[in-house]
Protein backbone atom coordinates (compact mmCIF):
# COMPACT_ATOMS: atom_id res chain seq x y z
CA UNK A 1 0.00 0.00 0.00
CA UNK A 2 1.20 3.52 -0.80
CA UNK A 3 1.62 6.41 1.61
CA UNK A 4 -1.68 7.23 3.29
CA UNK A 5 -3.34 10.47 2.21
CA UNK A 6 -6.67 11.87 3.22
CA UNK A 7 -8.64 13.26 0.30
CA UNK A 8 -7.64 16.80 1.24
CA UNK A 9 -3.97 15.84 1.54
CA UNK A 10 -4.07 14.03 -1.80
CA UNK A 11 -5.50 17.10 -3.51
CA UNK A 12 -2.80 19.28 -1.95
CA UNK A 13 -0.08 16.96 -3.24
CA UNK A 14 -1.67 16.92 -6.71
CA UNK A 15 -1.77 20.74 -6.73
CA UNK A 16 1.97 20.88 -5.99
CA UNK A 17 2.77 18.59 -8.91
CA UNK A 18 0.39 20.57 -11.10
CA UNK A 19 2.28 23.76 -10.32
CA UNK A 20 5.43 21.91 -11.31
CA UNK A 21 3.90 21.52 -14.76
CA UNK A 22 3.48 25.29 -14.98
CA UNK A 23 -0.25 25.28 -14.17
CA UNK A 24 -2.38 26.87 -11.47
CA UNK A 25 -4.26 24.48 -9.21
CA UNK A 26 -7.63 25.43 -10.74
CA UNK A 27 -6.51 25.31 -14.42
CA UNK A 28 -8.40 22.89 -16.68
CA UNK A 29 -9.00 21.90 -20.29
CA UNK A 30 -5.34 21.17 -21.01
CA UNK A 31 -3.71 18.29 -22.89
CA UNK A 32 -1.91 16.16 -20.32
CA UNK A 33 -0.06 14.17 -22.99
CA UNK A 34 1.68 17.31 -24.25
CA UNK A 35 2.47 18.46 -20.72
CA UNK A 36 4.05 15.12 -19.78
CA UNK A 37 6.22 15.15 -22.89
CA UNK A 38 7.33 18.71 -22.17
CA UNK A 39 8.12 17.61 -18.61
CA UNK A 40 10.56 15.01 -19.93
CA UNK A 41 8.44 11.87 -19.64
CA UNK A 42 9.09 9.34 -22.43
CA UNK A 43 5.60 8.84 -23.79
CA UNK A 44 4.22 6.68 -26.59
CA UNK A 45 0.71 5.93 -27.86
CA UNK A 46 0.46 2.39 -29.23
CA UNK A 47 -2.43 0.00 -30.02
CA UNK A 48 -2.46 -2.41 -27.08
CA UNK A 49 -3.58 -5.96 -27.77
CA UNK A 50 -4.35 -6.73 -24.11
CA UNK A 51 -8.06 -6.26 -23.50
CA UNK A 52 -9.01 -3.54 -21.00
CA UNK A 53 -5.42 -2.27 -20.66
CA UNK A 54 -5.63 1.53 -20.65
CA UNK A 55 -2.04 2.48 -19.95
CA UNK A 56 1.26 1.65 -18.33
CA UNK A 57 3.74 3.65 -16.28
CA UNK A 58 7.35 2.67 -15.63
CA UNK A 59 9.41 4.51 -13.03
CA UNK A 60 12.95 5.13 -14.23
CA UNK A 61 16.10 5.31 -12.15
CA UNK A 62 15.89 9.06 -12.70
CA UNK A 63 12.86 11.23 -13.49
CA UNK A 64 13.99 11.82 -17.08
CA UNK A 65 13.77 8.07 -17.68
CA UNK A 66 10.13 7.72 -16.61
CA UNK A 67 7.89 6.11 -19.25
CA UNK A 68 4.16 6.30 -19.98
CA UNK A 69 2.52 4.07 -22.59
CA UNK A 70 -1.06 4.78 -23.65
CA UNK A 71 -3.55 2.66 -25.58
CA UNK A 72 -4.07 4.45 -28.92
CA UNK A 73 -7.23 2.39 -29.49
CA UNK A 74 -8.92 4.65 -26.94
CA UNK A 75 -10.21 8.15 -27.73
CA UNK A 76 -8.06 11.21 -27.10
CA UNK A 77 -10.34 12.25 -24.23
CA UNK A 78 -9.93 8.79 -22.66
CA UNK A 79 -6.17 8.95 -23.16
CA UNK A 80 -6.05 12.38 -21.51
CA UNK A 81 -7.38 10.88 -18.28
CA UNK A 82 -5.29 7.70 -18.68
CA UNK A 83 -2.16 9.82 -19.04
CA UNK A 84 -3.06 11.79 -15.91
CA UNK A 85 -3.64 8.54 -14.03
CA UNK A 86 -0.20 7.22 -15.03
CA UNK A 87 1.41 10.57 -14.20
CA UNK A 88 0.02 10.38 -10.65
CA UNK A 89 1.62 6.94 -10.30
CA UNK A 90 4.97 8.39 -11.37
CA UNK A 91 4.64 11.28 -8.93
CA UNK A 92 3.40 9.75 -5.70
CA UNK A 93 4.32 6.07 -5.95
CA UNK A 94 8.05 6.38 -6.63
CA UNK A 95 9.03 5.03 -3.22
CA UNK A 96 7.01 1.85 -3.48
CA UNK A 97 8.76 -1.43 -4.15
CA UNK A 98 7.23 -1.39 -7.61
CA UNK A 99 8.56 -0.11 -10.92
CA UNK A 100 5.73 -0.80 -13.37
CA UNK A 101 2.02 0.00 -13.10
CA UNK A 102 -0.46 -1.65 -15.47
CA UNK A 103 -3.77 0.16 -15.37
CA UNK A 104 -6.91 -1.58 -16.54
CA UNK A 105 -10.56 -0.67 -17.02
CA UNK A 106 -11.48 -2.43 -13.78
CA UNK A 107 -9.84 -3.17 -10.45
CA UNK A 108 -8.42 -6.67 -10.59
CA UNK A 109 -7.21 -8.89 -7.76
CA UNK A 110 -3.55 -8.15 -8.49
CA UNK A 111 -4.05 -4.39 -8.24
CA UNK A 112 -3.81 -2.44 -5.02
CA UNK A 113 -7.20 -0.76 -4.66
CA UNK A 114 -5.85 2.06 -2.49
CA UNK A 115 -3.05 2.91 -4.93
CA UNK A 116 -5.52 2.87 -7.81
CA UNK A 117 -7.88 5.12 -5.83
CA UNK A 118 -5.03 7.58 -5.34
CA UNK A 119 -4.25 7.54 -9.08
CA UNK A 120 -7.91 7.87 -10.12
CA UNK A 121 -8.83 10.53 -7.57
CA UNK A 122 -5.57 12.38 -8.13
CA UNK A 123 -6.04 12.38 -11.90
CA UNK A 124 -9.63 13.58 -11.48
CA UNK A 125 -8.55 16.53 -9.32
CA UNK A 126 -5.69 17.28 -11.71
CA UNK A 127 -8.03 17.56 -14.70
CA UNK A 128 -11.29 18.59 -13.00
CA UNK A 129 -10.32 20.77 -10.01
CA UNK A 130 -13.15 20.96 -7.51
CA UNK A 131 -12.63 24.72 -7.08
CA UNK A 132 -13.73 25.18 -10.72
CA UNK A 133 -16.13 22.22 -10.93
CA UNK A 134 -18.47 23.05 -8.04
CA UNK A 135 -19.29 26.63 -9.12
CA UNK A 136 -19.89 25.33 -12.65
CA UNK A 137 -22.44 22.83 -11.33
CA UNK A 138 -24.24 25.54 -9.37
CA UNK A 139 -24.41 27.92 -12.33
CA UNK A 140 -25.51 25.42 -15.00
CA UNK A 141 -27.80 22.98 -13.18
CA UNK A 142 -30.26 25.58 -11.90
CA UNK A 143 -33.05 23.01 -11.43
CA UNK A 144 -31.96 19.78 -9.74
CA UNK A 145 -35.34 18.20 -10.37
CA UNK A 146 -34.70 18.33 -14.12
CA UNK A 147 -32.71 15.22 -15.14
CA UNK A 148 -32.10 16.61 -18.63
CA UNK A 149 -30.16 19.55 -17.19
CA UNK A 150 -27.91 17.07 -15.38
CA UNK A 151 -27.44 15.06 -18.57
CA UNK A 152 -26.57 18.16 -20.58
CA UNK A 153 -24.19 19.34 -17.87
CA UNK A 154 -22.24 16.07 -18.07
CA UNK A 155 -21.76 16.47 -21.82
CA UNK A 156 -20.80 20.13 -21.52
CA UNK A 157 -18.41 19.47 -18.64
CA UNK A 158 -16.75 16.60 -20.51
CA UNK A 159 -15.94 18.92 -23.43
CA UNK A 160 -14.85 21.74 -21.10
CA UNK A 161 -12.45 19.60 -19.05
CA UNK A 162 -11.22 17.49 -22.01
CA UNK A 163 -12.40 14.18 -20.52
CA UNK A 164 -15.24 11.71 -21.12
CA UNK A 165 -18.73 11.82 -19.60
CA UNK A 166 -17.75 8.69 -17.70
CA UNK A 167 -15.03 10.66 -15.92
CA UNK A 168 -17.50 13.46 -15.15
CA UNK A 169 -19.86 10.86 -13.65
CA UNK A 170 -16.98 9.54 -11.54
CA UNK A 171 -16.31 13.10 -10.38
CA UNK A 172 -19.96 13.69 -9.48
CA UNK A 173 -19.83 10.50 -7.42
CA UNK A 174 -16.52 11.13 -5.65
CA UNK A 175 -17.45 14.76 -4.86
CA UNK A 176 -21.08 14.19 -3.91
CA UNK A 177 -20.56 15.20 -0.25
CA UNK A 178 -18.62 18.32 -1.21
CA UNK A 179 -21.23 19.21 -3.88
CA UNK A 180 -24.02 18.77 -1.30
CA UNK A 181 -22.27 21.17 1.10
CA UNK A 182 -21.61 23.78 -1.57
CA UNK A 183 -25.17 23.73 -2.92
CA UNK A 184 -26.43 24.19 0.62
CA UNK A 185 -24.55 27.44 1.15
CA UNK A 186 -21.21 26.40 2.61
CA UNK A 187 -18.39 28.55 1.13
CA UNK A 188 -16.07 26.55 -1.08
CA UNK A 189 -13.06 27.24 1.15
CA UNK A 190 -14.98 25.92 4.20
CA UNK A 191 -16.10 22.63 2.66
CA UNK A 192 -15.15 19.50 4.56
CA UNK A 193 -13.58 16.92 2.28
CA UNK A 194 -14.23 13.24 2.85
CA UNK A 195 -13.57 10.22 0.67
CA UNK A 196 -16.43 7.82 -0.01
CA UNK A 197 -14.94 5.33 2.48
CA UNK A 198 -14.73 8.05 5.14
CA UNK A 199 -18.35 9.00 4.49
CA UNK A 200 -19.36 5.38 4.90
CA UNK A 201 -17.53 5.09 8.22
CA UNK A 202 -19.24 8.27 9.45
CA UNK A 203 -22.62 6.99 8.15
CA UNK A 204 -23.03 9.98 5.86
CA UNK A 205 -25.44 9.07 3.08
CA UNK A 206 -25.67 11.68 0.34
CA UNK A 207 -27.21 11.09 -3.08
CA UNK A 208 -25.02 12.04 -6.01
CA UNK A 209 -26.35 13.95 -9.01
CA UNK A 210 -25.93 10.69 -10.93
CA UNK A 211 -28.36 8.97 -8.56
CA UNK A 212 -30.77 11.90 -8.61
CA UNK A 213 -30.77 11.91 -12.42
CA UNK A 214 -31.40 8.17 -12.57
CA UNK A 215 -34.27 8.35 -10.06
CA UNK A 216 -35.93 11.25 -11.89
CA UNK A 217 -35.64 9.54 -15.28
CA UNK A 218 -37.09 6.34 -13.83
CA UNK A 219 -39.97 8.33 -12.34
CA UNK A 220 -40.68 10.03 -15.68
CA UNK A 221 -40.55 6.68 -17.48
CA UNK A 222 -42.99 5.12 -15.01
CA UNK A 223 -45.35 8.05 -15.44
CA UNK A 224 -45.27 7.69 -19.23
CA UNK A 225 -45.68 3.93 -19.17
CA UNK A 226 -48.54 3.93 -16.66
CA UNK A 227 -51.97 2.29 -17.20
CA UNK A 228 -53.13 5.01 -19.61
CA UNK A 229 -50.04 4.74 -21.83
CA UNK A 230 -50.71 3.49 -25.37
CA UNK A 231 -47.76 1.98 -27.19
CA UNK A 232 -48.57 2.90 -30.81
CA UNK A 233 -45.45 1.11 -31.95
CA UNK A 234 -47.11 -2.23 -31.23
CA UNK A 235 -50.21 -1.55 -33.36
Residues 14 and 51 in one domain: yes
Residues 175 and 104 in one domain: no
Give the per-residue pLDDT at 221. 82
Residues 195, 9: Cα–Cα separation, whole Å = 11
Residues 29, 132: Cα–Cα separation, whole Å = 11
Question: Would you say 208 and 173 are in contact if contact means Cβ atoms under 8 Å apart?
Answer: yes
CATH of the domain at 23: 1.10.10.2910
Whether 180 is covered by a domain: the verdict is yes
Whether 51 is covered by a domain: the verdict is yes
How many Cα atoms occupy the beta-carbon half-sphere of 132 within 13 Å? Answer: 15
For 17-163, strand residue ranges (E) read 42-46, 53-58, 67-71, 100-104
Residues 82 and 136 in one domain: no
Whether 230 is covered by a domain: the verdict is no
Residues 99 and 72 in one domain: yes
Q: 122 is in which domain, residue-wise?
A: 7-127
In this model, does residue 163 exceed pLDDT 90? yes
Chain-wide mean pLDDT for the chain?
A: 91
- The whole-model pTM stands at 0.90
Query: Which of 77-81, 118-122, 221-225 is least confident?
Result: 221-225
In this model, does residue 129 exceed pLDDT 90? yes
Question: How many domains does one find in the chain?
Answer: 2
Q: What percentage of the chain reaches a pLDDT higher than 90? A: 79
Domain finish residue from 99, 127, 155:
127
Whether 163 is covered by a domain: the verdict is yes
Residues 101 and 150 in one domain: no
In this model, does residue 145 exceed pLDDT 70? yes
Domain finish residue from 86, 103, 127:
127
Whether 214 is covered by a domain: the verdict is yes
Give the per-residue pLDDT at 227. 61
Residues 167 and 108 in one domain: no
Domain finish residue from 101, 127, 153:
127
Amino acid sequence: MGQYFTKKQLYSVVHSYKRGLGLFSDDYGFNMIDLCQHDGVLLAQIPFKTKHLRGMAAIGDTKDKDVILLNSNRTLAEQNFDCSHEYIHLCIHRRLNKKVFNCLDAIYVKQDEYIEWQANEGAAELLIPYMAFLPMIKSIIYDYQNPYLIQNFKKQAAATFNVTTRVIEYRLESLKYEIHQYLNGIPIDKIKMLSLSQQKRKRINIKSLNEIEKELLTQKYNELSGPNFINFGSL
